[in-house]
Amino acid sequence: MCRLIGYLGNSIRLDELLYKLEHSLYHQSYHPLELKSGFVCGDGVGVGWYDEAGKPFIYRNTIPLWNDPNLQELSQYVKSTSSVGYARLAGIGEPLDISNCQPFRSEKLLFVHNGEIVNFQQTLYRPIRDSLGDSTYHLIKGLTDSEHIFALFVEIWQSSVDSTLVSSLAIALQKLTELAQKYDTSFSANIIVSDGQTVVAVRYAYGTQAPTLYWYCDDLTHPSQVIVASEPLSHQNWIAFPEQSMLFVQADSLIPKISSLESYS
């Protein structure tokens, strides 16, 4: 399983999330403590962030995070109020190709996913594609289940002017569950998505257990930052996501809101 991080708060350099904390994403890439499968996340790295005008940018590479000097240099320069990061552990048979690396981006959205659809190519690969319109179908450049989940989410998000990140993500999970039931498979979906002003994170699974996910807020009364991660980045008081739960936080208040998700089963 991959390792994820998401951030919303005061403007900080990317290296504060990627490298500086005791159990940073850099450290997790070669010494994860709560990985369900595999030993290291050395199959790629990615980071996404927003500039001062709210425009999203991504950096992706197929080499391990611990062996990427370009990202280390970049992260000491780039500052952002919202960012996501990712260290990849490729699924069986997935090629080490840049198109299979996260984050995924569409317009102002940045998206990272940790988990898997069991027997994806034989079960939900075609049904997910069949549910997409032309524009979201052509978003897909790689072969991963993660990118197909992203395309499904974008399809739902674009379907109505009243769509929100929260409602679109909940509907996407419901749709995935219905497809998993129909095609007799299971899946896990830890997801972090941002539009630069809002971050939504979920820990969800159907027919299996979801990977671990945690969140941290520096001050629950007057917060300046909220962080979500697959494993705690530090020895501070991180809070574990219950299974089937969602965190929602907006830049104007930075007050995390936690809610339970239906299992849809």
The whole-angstrom separation of Cα 81 and Cα 24 is 18
Strand order in the sheet with 257-260: 104-106, 109-114, 187-194, 198-206, 245-250, 257-260
Active site residues: 2
Q: Which two tokens mark 148? A: 């197909």
